[in-house]
Structure formats: C-alpha cells, structure tokens
Structure 1
Amino acid sequence: MMPTPFNRIPAERVRESNPSIWVELSALASEYNAVNLGQGFPDGPAPRFVTDELKKIAKHPELTCAHQYTSGYGHPKLVKELSKWYSYLYQQQVNPKTNILVTVGAYHALYYSFHAWINEGDEVIIIEPAFDCYAPQIKLAGGVPVSIVMNFPDGGTNASQFTVDFEKMESSITEKTKMIVINNPHNPTGKLFNRMELLKIADIAQKYDLIVVADEVYEFHCWGVNKMIRFASLPGMWNRTISIGSAGKVFSITGWKLGWAIGPDHLLAPLKAIHQNCIYACSTPTQLAVAMAFEKEWETFHVKPHKSYLGGYLPEKLEIKRKKLQKMLVNAGFAPISPQAGYFMLANYTHLNTGFRISEGFEELDDYSFTKWLCREKKLAVIPFTAFFANIEDKMRNTSFVRFCFFKKDRTLNDAKKIMKKLSK
C-alpha cells in the first residue's frame, strides 16, 4: 500500500500571515552586526532596584508564593499593587480581584481583547500609523481593521502636528463597528494625545456605543510639560475601556514579558475566559518581583513624583537621549520629527546626500530599500515607516521616513553618531 502524501494546509486564518518586520530586520541587524536603533528596547542595564527584587526571590527557594503556580489572573501581590497605582492614576476604584488581568506582555493583553470581543465581520477602527500587530490580530479574530490615517503637514517638525481627522473617523463607523484602538503615547510618531483629542474619541465611543482598547504602554515615558492623560480617567470612559499596560516598558525589562489589561468586570470577563484556557498563569517570580518594585517605587512616586524613578529619573533620562539623537540626525542631514513622549523618533531621510539611490522599477518600498541599504552598507539598523500602515495605498504615501529608537545606552548612540557622520561623505 502506497503511503498517502502529506498535503494538509494550515487554517485559513493564518494562511496570509507573513514574518513580522521585527523578525526580518532583527535578523538583518544581527547578520551585519549593525548598531541597532531599530527595535524598541533599551540595551542598557535594567533598573537595579527592580532586578534586586528578583535576586532576593531567587535566594529563597522555599517560598511557595514565589516559585509555584500563582493565581491565574495575576499574583495576589501584583494585582494589589496595580490596583493601588491605577486607582490613583485613573481616579477610579480598581478592584484587584475583578478589574485586572496579568498577561504575557502587552501583546497578549491586546490579543485577548480582540479575540474576546470581536466576532466575524466586526469592524475595528485603528488610528494609523499604528503598531504592526493590531491589524493582524484583529484579522485573526475574524475582524476587519478600518484605518484612519493621521494627517501631517509637509515640513512638519513636531509629533503634535500629527492630527486625527475626526470627521473621517465618525463617517467610517458602520453598524458593524465595535471597537476603537488608541495608542497613547503613540508609537511610532511620538505623539501624546491632548485632552481635547481624547475627549473627541470619547464622544464618538459614547455616541456609537464602542469599546475602546487603550494601549498605554509608554504611559510613564513623558517629559517636560507633556502630561499623560489615561483614557479610562476621562468622564464616562471607565465602563467602556480596556487599558493595556506593560511592566517591560514601565521598568525597562522587556524580556520579562509581563503586561496587564485593566477594566470593568464586564469587559475583562471574556478575556479571562480565554486566559484560563490558554496559559492559565504567568511567571510567578517575575510577577512577584514587579510587584515589589512597584511597592518600592510607590513610596516616593505618590509623594514626590519628581524624585521618583518613574516620575523623575526616567523622563529626564529620555529627554537627554531624545535631544542627543535629534542633534545627531540634523547634523547627518535627516529631518527629524521631535517626539512628545515614548522612545521613538521619526526622521525624513530623502534629502540625505549619500550613495543610496532608489532603483527604478524595483518593487520594494523606498523606505524598506533605504533601511536595508543602511543596515548592510553602513551597519546602522532602523525601522521603515511603512511597516506601521496596513494598506498599500497608505504605505505608498508614506515612504519618506524611518523610525529610530533613542532609548539606548550612550555607547550605542555614540557608535550610531560615528556612522551618521560618515553618511554624507
């Protein structure tokens, strides 16, 4: 009897899935040993007061609460600390038992949010440019992403000049629209939405009875006069908002992969139903260490925030690095867009006097070609702006920028500076 050839095909929902930009360009950066200002992670030491807590835990193998399964929806100490922090930040009582779900990073919280609430054909409004996992995750859940592309003036120099066309947003809403996703502070632009903009989104959500997924992982990465307004703190928005946070971003420990979703019971219950049948519980020792770090930070933050790590040290450090990269880019011939928050900066590369030339008839997008050339030929890794748009038409209109991450150690920035100095020679 002849064996039957193996010819099974994957489920339809994943057939169009392609490797993400992070997989492709991280591999390229590694291959060419490039200075990496592309992927968004700090490459300097994690805060000692955070890692010391994990060190203490490791010294006590007898602690069941530290090394065995913990509560499925979040370690009791971590949800207690998150409840304290976000009750204060939202000015809304956050119940540690019912209003918080600890997840494997913010990615997981987003995935749960879409899969728990989106039915086949439901539409989700995304403000673009947008982090590149939103649209694929929405599609995996059976939903339809609807892109609202922000406007930006020719020659603009500040991220605040990215503006949402709210009339277009409202006119794009149909009877199938179920959700709006907002990322604030915004990746990749560095925009920090102001109160008036957020209230307009709140009005639309209220008018059309929409759920809001507020991806706020860079909530503590604001400096100077720029103030973070959390969406769930707006009048009437707690009851319709799933807020997404990240310990990896808060404490610069992205490899720990801990995040959370916060919201009212009726919004979180479906997420918990998926979670309990997916991973059940996140890593116990890292949850406990993050809880202890939050507890230690709270002692200063709620009394003298400017003296704390999150309210003082982190914003000051980010602003110094932002200024350094911006100066480097200007001197190299880029036209940077100054961010208001986060740790990313866009820059127009099209007027650089370099050896890079777009090949006519080449099907690859210009910013992808430039990014690969910069990595291969100059050993500097960045991210193409078009990676943050879902539709090809929108990509074609936005090929003049690349994204830099400036939250890097001084040695990395200095190495990038040496490369940039040679770009126009």
Structure 2
Amino acid sequence: MPSMTPATERDIAAAEAHSAHNYHPLPVVIASAEGAWMTDVEGRRYLDLLAGYSALNFGHGNRRLIDAAKAQLERVTLTSRAFHHDRFAEFCAELAALCGKDMVLPMNTGAEAIETAVKTARKWGYRVKGVPDGKAKIVVADNNFHGRTTTIISFSTDPEARADYGPYTPGFEIVPYGDLAALSAAVDEHTVAVLLEPIQGEAGVLVPPAGYLAGVRRLTAERNVLFIADEIQAGLGRTGRTFACEHEGVEPDVYVLGKALGGGVVPVSAVVASSEVLGVFRPGEHGSTFGGNPLACAVALEVIAILRTGEYQERAAELGEHLHRELGLLVGGGAVEAVRGRGLWAGIDIAPAVGSGREVSERLLERGVLVKDTHGATIRIAPPLVISKGDLDWGLDQLRAVLAG
C-alpha cells in the first residue's frame, strides 16, 4: 500500500465514513488536473492513464470545452424538455450527422442510454417488426459491461455486478463474445436486437476476432434485427477512429454514446439511429428532465466540433501504434501474460508472480502514474488523447520498472 500523509489519510477516512463503499479507489485524493496530468491535495503530480474510463478523451480542463461550458452557464442551463431551447436542434442535427443517422434521443449517463436503447429496440420490434407483445428478445455477449441498472445487470455475467440484485429482468440471451455461430443460433423470430460493445472495455479491453463485427452486421441485416453498438467507452476517438465499428467498415443501426460526449465536463449520453427506429416514440413514452439540457448540448457541440477536425483520432492511431508496439515487447518476459487493445486503449494481463492488478496499480501510483485494475489480474491503459509521446513513454518506463520489481 502506498504511503500517505496525514492530510490524505483524513480525506480518505472522511470519504469512507460518509459514502457507500461501492467503489475501492486508489489511495490518492485529486485536487486539480490539466491535460494528461492530475495533482493531489499535497501537490504531487500524477500522469493520468485512465482518463475517467474514456470520459476525458480530450484531456482535463480542455480550454475549448471549458469555455463552451462557461459561456452557456451565463445564459441558461436547464429548461427541461417541456420547452425548446436554442442549443437543442443544433446538437441533435450535428450528432446525427456525425453518426450518419437521422435522429438523436439524448440522455445523461451511459446506463440511461443503454436502457433507452433496450426500450427502443423492444418498441421497434413490436411496432415495426411485428413481434408478439411481451416476446421481444435481445441477444448480448458474455463478459459485457453496459452499466449497472437492474435491467442491465440482468444480462451481466459478472458476479460482482449481478449478485444479490434479483429478481432479474427477462428478455435477454447471452452468447460468447466473438462467436458468430453462437450468435446466429441465438437469433430467432422474436429477436429484436443484438447489443454489443465493439471492444469490451471493463472485461479487459477485449478485441473481437477480425471479421466478427462485419459478420454481426450481415447477420442482423439478413434477419431484420437491429445491431446496437455500445460505443460509450470505445467511441469518439479512443481507438483511432471516431467509432470503433469503423475498423471493420461497419455501421450499426443504433449507436449508444456517452462518456467523452460530455468532455469530462457534464454527463451527456445519447441513442442515435434512423427515423424508422427512433421514430417509434410518441410524447410521454420516454423522457429525462436533464436529457439534452442546454449546458450538455453546448459542451457536446464543442466535442463534435473537435472530433470533426480528426486531430484526436489521428493522435490515438499514431500514439496507439507506438503504445502497443512497446507493450508487446513486455509479453513473454515473465511479467506480462498478454496485451490487447486498439488505439490509445490497452488491457495488460499481469503474471501472478508479479502481483495482482490492484497491487501493480498501487505500485504505479507510488511512481506517479494512475491506472486501474479490472477482474483481478488486468490493468487498463487509456490516457487522455492529448497526452504527449514523451509523457506516454515516461509512463511506460514506470510500468517497466514496476514489472521488473
């Protein structure tokens, strides 16, 4: 366990005393951040190699995003959807265009967007496809992570996410991730959607076999089933493309977006699809008081403008190639069992002899680098896309030093 000053210990103790213990944070208390760096309450700096699980793709305190938020704060922050506001139409039009779709249904968090996508698929199945009422089925993959609501954890295979929350919501069938034959066998006349992460983030940055997403696209098109891509973590520049599905030339029927859409400033999420799909909703059938609020729209519009330059996608691709080349050299030396990922996103399986993912994360913390473990033996690397090559190399040097013991 890293050593802590009395001030840090007091802050952590206070947090532990007054908040539910549904997280196990690393023992650091952040006070400020800029770009790819964060500073704790004692003034110590840390290289952020997590980026808020991809919510901070464009860096801490991105000036364009902060200025957009400040300008909107001075005007109007919330109207609810009871009224129109002057940022809403532009936001919906720009995000729809970015995705090559017609319509946007804005929400706040990723889990809300997934819930919305589930409701959308079911309503589409009943209204458009003609599935008998109450029979709609959605096929998902094992090891998925789409959020933590009751419905979403009903189709999770992670015991920590699922245990003790039953009874569970029916209507889902789980198949192995990357197995196209199993997916094909699961799709029947009652299937309304296939919901997948193009890269499974929480599972350890699992990249499916080449051709899998293209196969899913063909299958769903042939069977009149919606392909819903959860791009909440994988999308918006992280993998070197605007959307991770682009690596296989695939366009899903429905994009589910979140995290980086709010630039790390405000929570923004959205379901984006054709008018045939999202057009099934009528007033009063779904909603959110804060979904599509003026502040969220202002920030998200600036995110979209940033993405349209292509700068961050290019940085993620170039630095990602360097990252994976360097990480690949660690495999086979006894400390790292496997490395996976795409762009500036990697999962690293730590050999048991070195320690758990948590222990490696704590050792990196002592050396000024912030990462996070998942599923025991894996650590994830996902820096803000603004990171410099020099800073990335310094972070990799610290990883090598930790793995060398």
Aligned residues: 331
- Matches of 1:79 and 1:53, distance apart in 2: 17
Contact 1:122-1:143 within 8 A present in 2 as well: no
Contact 1:73-1:272 within 8 A present in 2 as well: no
Identify the residue that residue 185 of structure 2 maps to in structure 1: 171
Identify the residue that residue 29 of structure 1 maps to in structure 2: 26
- Is the alpha carbon distance of 1:71 and 1:184 closer, same or farther for their aligned partners in structure 2, counting shifts above 3 Å? same
Spell out the pairing of 1:180-199 with structure 2 (5 A cutoff). 180-187=194-201, 188-189=204-205, 191=207, 196-199=211-214
Deviations 1:101-142 (A, max 9, x none): 111033221111224545867432213332252795343882
- Matches of 1:245 and 1:101, distance apart in 2: 10
Contact 1:104-1:259 within 8 A present in 2 as well: yes
**1:192 to partner: Cα distance:** 7.1
Contact 1:113-1:271 within 8 A present in 2 as well: no
Contact 2:213-2:250 within 8 A present in 1 as well: no
Contact 1:337-1:345 within 8 A present in 2 as well: yes
- Is the alpha carbon distance of 1:105 and 1:134 closer, same or farther for their aligned partners in structure 2, counting shifts above 3 Å? closer
Spell out the pairing of 1:51-130 with structure 2 (5 A cutoff). 51-58=66-73, 61=74, 63=75, 66-69=76-79, 71=81, 76-84=86-94, 86-87=96-97, 89-90=99-100, 94=102, 99-118=103-122, 122-130=136-144
- Is the alpha carbon distance of 1:32 and 1:126 closer, same or farther for their aligned partners in structure 2, counting shifts above 3 Å? same
Identify the residue that residue 129 of structure 2 maps to in structure 1: none
- Matches of 2:277 and 2:221, distance apart in 1: 15
SS of equivalent residue, structure 1 residue 347: strand
SS of equivalent residue, structure 2 residue 60: coil
Identify the residue that residue 3 of structure 1 maps to in structure 2: none
Identify the residue that residue 300 of structure 2 maps to in structure 1: 290
- Is the alpha carbon distance of 1:45 and 1:284 closer, same or farther for their aligned partners in structure 2, counting shifts above 3 Å? same
Contact 2:140-2:194 within 8 A present in 1 as well: yes
**1:168 to partner: Cα distance:** 1.5
Spell out the pairing of 1:41-56 with structure 2 (5 A cutoff). 41=54, 42=56, 44-56=59-71
- Matches of 1:339 and 1:271, distance apart in 2: 40
Contact 1:116-1:274 within 8 A present in 2 as well: no
- Matches of 1:272 and 1:326, distance apart in 2: 52
- Is the alpha carbon distance of 1:377 and 1:202 closer, same or farther for their aligned partners in structure 2, counting shifts above 3 Å? closer
Deviations 1:63-120 (A, max 9, x none): 3xx3341646986535434534543653x5x2xxxx1111103322111122454586
- Matches of 2:83 and 2:207, distance apart in 1: 32
Identify the residue that residue 246 of structure 2 maps to in structure 1: 229
**1:40 to partner: Cα distance:** 1.6
SS of equivalent residue, structure 2 residue 53: coil
Identify the residue that residue 172 of structure 2 maps to in structure 1: 145
SS of equivalent residue, structure 1 residue 67: coil
Contact 2:347-2:379 within 8 A present in 1 as well: yes
Is it true that 1:249 corresponds to 2:260 in the alignment? yes
**1:321 to partner: Cα distance:** 4.9
- Is the alpha carbon distance of 1:47 and 1:297 closer, same or farther for their aligned partners in structure 2, counting shifts above 3 Å? same
Give the counterpart of 2:373 among 346, 371, 383: 383
- Is the alpha carbon distance of 1:31 and 1:57 closer, same or farther for their aligned partners in structure 2, counting shifts above 3 Å? closer
- Matches of 1:35 and 1:49, distance apart in 2: 22
**1:257 to partner: Cα distance:** 0.9
Taking structure 2 as the reference length, what is the TM-score of the superposition? 0.64
Structure 1 stretches of at least 4 aligned residues deviating more than 6 Å after TM superposition: 31-36, 230-233, 328-332, 410-413
> Which amino acid in the other structure matches residue 372 of structure 2?
V
Is it true that 1:216 corresponds to 2:216 in the alignment? no
**1:288 to partner: Cα distance:** 1.6
Is it true that 1:348 corresponds to 2:349 in the alignment? yes
- Is the alpha carbon distance of 1:117 and 1:40 closer, same or farther for their aligned partners in structure 2, counting shifts above 3 Å? same
- Matches of 2:146 and 2:134, distance apart in 1: 21
Is it true that 1:404 corresponds to 2:380 in the alignment? yes
- Matches of 1:346 and 1:73, distance apart in 2: 44
Is it true that 1:204 corresponds to 2:219 in the alignment? yes
- Matches of 2:305 and 2:260, distance apart in 1: 17
**1:51 to partner: Cα distance:** 1.8
Contact 2:349-2:378 within 8 A present in 1 as well: yes
**1:210 to partner: Cα distance:** 2.1
Give the counterpart of 1:133 among 121, 142, 147: 147
SS of equivalent residue, structure 1 residue 209: coil
Fraction of identical pairs, as percent: 7
- Matches of 1:46 and 1:323, distance apart in 2: 29
**Higher normalized helix content (fraction of residues):** 1
Identify the residue that residue 13 of structure 1 maps to in structure 2: none
- Matches of 1:376 and 1:295, distance apart in 2: 37
- Matches of 2:293 and 2:89, distance apart in 1: 14
